[in-house]
Structure 1
Amino acid sequence: MPLSDDTADIAHGVLRWEAIFAQFRSAQEILARSGARRVLTAGGDCAVDVAVIDYLSGLHPGLQVIWIDAHLDANTPETSPSGNFHGMPVSAILGRAPEPMRPFLGAPIDPARFRYFGIRVGDDGDWALQRELGLKRLDPQESIRGPVHIHFDLDVLDPREFPYLAYTDGGLGVEDAIALVGRIAREADVVGLTVTEFAPSDEEAAAAGSEVIARLYEAATRA
């Protein structure tokens, strides 16, 4: 995606930096006031998870992150071709956040406690960070234990089954996705679930897509 013509709105390598940083700090304040030990986040793009994962990591030592997404989201401000922060959250939680954001974040997630699932699409910078940090894909049979946060970008789903998307790069079947989330919940302690990138075109699409989102939530919590 090309860089915006509005280059005046770019700072620290991030498009619309002031708004992004303000939203990040606001989310941190809301989470801190809540005192919650488990967090459900619904809506927004993938960048909403930076504050959530940082918060949960501070509460749950050894937190594991399962990033279910068609995209790697691992660009840095230096490598992103667009400057869009929604393409940088993985690098941010792994210690490569924009410089002014770093003092407000706790210890980075250990790459050994991070797993991708469903990834298909990335820029050169995404793949470079994956190789540098040795970021692995989740083996469908891999056993998962301890506290886990599940990041679920709906664009990982096959658009023929779930067309309510802005990006249609995924190929994961809905039933397979629900089964995966359910398995993680049965084996591990799911302390966070974030569902992002819902883009229905009308009320009918919103209702149909919401049924799938509800099933993902049920799979994550009924264990």
Structure 2
Amino acid sequence: MPFDLSLSYPQWQGSGRHENLPRGAEAVSEICSRFAPLARVPPAHGDADDELLHGIHRWPAIFTQFRNAQGILVSSGARRVLTAGGDCAVDVAVIDYLQGVHPDLRVIWIDAHLDANTPETSPSGNFHGMPVSAILGRAPGPMRPYLGMPLEPTRFRYVGIQVGDDGDWELQRELDLQQLDPQATIDGPVHIHFDLDALDPREFPYVAYPDGKLRIDDAIALVRRIAREADLVGFTVTEFAPADEDEARAGSRVIERLCEAAAAPPSQVD
């Protein structure tokens, strides 16, 4: 289904290896702008080495962008959102908003990492390792008053996970977070979080954490199948970290294919 808003959300402060994320976020924004009108979350400044606050590095910049993104989303009235990240934590605001619009929202989290640490369990203090816990009700304390109801764990599925800290696996076991059954029918309103580090780095090396094993063609086929079977109301691309403009152009070709699969109307998805 076509999207009615593209959200440029270039936050890099949640990542521990953030040097190339601004270049990647701008490239993804350019692609997303071809599919729906583009709105930009203003970038916030945050020292790469600043101290922990509430257990999170660069918290003031992260929280400022979170609130600005919420304001843009609410004022847009969008029902289908295509998001250009940035680090993985940009999806906290997006998923919270979409669940307010679609109360029975399902989330498919395509990522090499579980992203289920909390400020208390994270060994790094980097917020891009915490968005899954945040949307499931374990957000940092100052963020909780600005979030709606947590997503129910039964409406969450992982794809492609390979790596996690002890805290990630502990929450996964506690909430019984499941991986997507390849044979399962996918229905209802669905949001896909797509961290590009889920892809096999032999095919897509333009990431800071090259831990994935998912083949590009398989990933595109999965997105296309979800768009065919379900009501795809959200698609977020994160963690594109090209080292130079040549890498940005090469990676953008893959990202464009992913967005085309997500945005195609049903008659073009079959």
With the length of structure 1 as denominator, give the TM-score of the two structures.
Answer: 0.96
| Superposed CA RMSD | 1.4
The aligned residue for residue 63 of structure 1 is 105
Deviations 1:193-219 (A, max 9, x none): 000011112212111111111111111
- Structure 2 SS opposite 1:67: strand
Amino acid at match of 2:153: P
Amino acid at match of 1:123: D
Amino acid at match of 1:80: S
The aligned residue for residue 93 of structure 1 is 135
1:149 and 2:191 are equivalent in the alignment: yes
The aligned residue for residue 33 of structure 2 is none
Of 157, 160, 164, the match for 1:122: 164
The aligned residue for residue 243 of structure 2 is 201
Q: Which runs of 5+ in 2 are unaligned?
A: 1-15, 17-47
Q: How does 1:207-222 map to 2 (within 5 A)?
A: 207-222=249-264
Amino acid at match of 1:55: Y
Of residues 178-187 and 14-23 in structure 1, the stretch that sits farther from structure 2 once superposed is 14-23
How many pairs align? 220
Of 160, 176, 194, the match for 2:202: 160
With the length of structure 2 as denominator, give the TM-score of the two structures.
Answer: 0.79
Identity of aligned residues (%): 76
Deviations 1:1-26 (A, max 9, x none): 8xxx95x6211111111111111111
Q: Which runs of 5+ in 1 are unaligned?
A: none
Amino acid at match of 1:85: F
The aligned residue for residue 177 of structure 1 is 219
Deviations 1:103-158 (A, max 9, x none): 00000000000000000000000000000000000011111100000000000000
Supply the distance in 2 between the matched residues of 1:79 and 1:132 (Cα, whole angstroms). 14
Supply the distance in 2 between the matched residues of 1:97 and 1:43 (Cα, whole angstroms). 19
- Structure 2 SS opposite 1:122: coil
Of 160, 165, 182, the match for 1:140: 182
The aligned residue for residue 28 of structure 2 is none
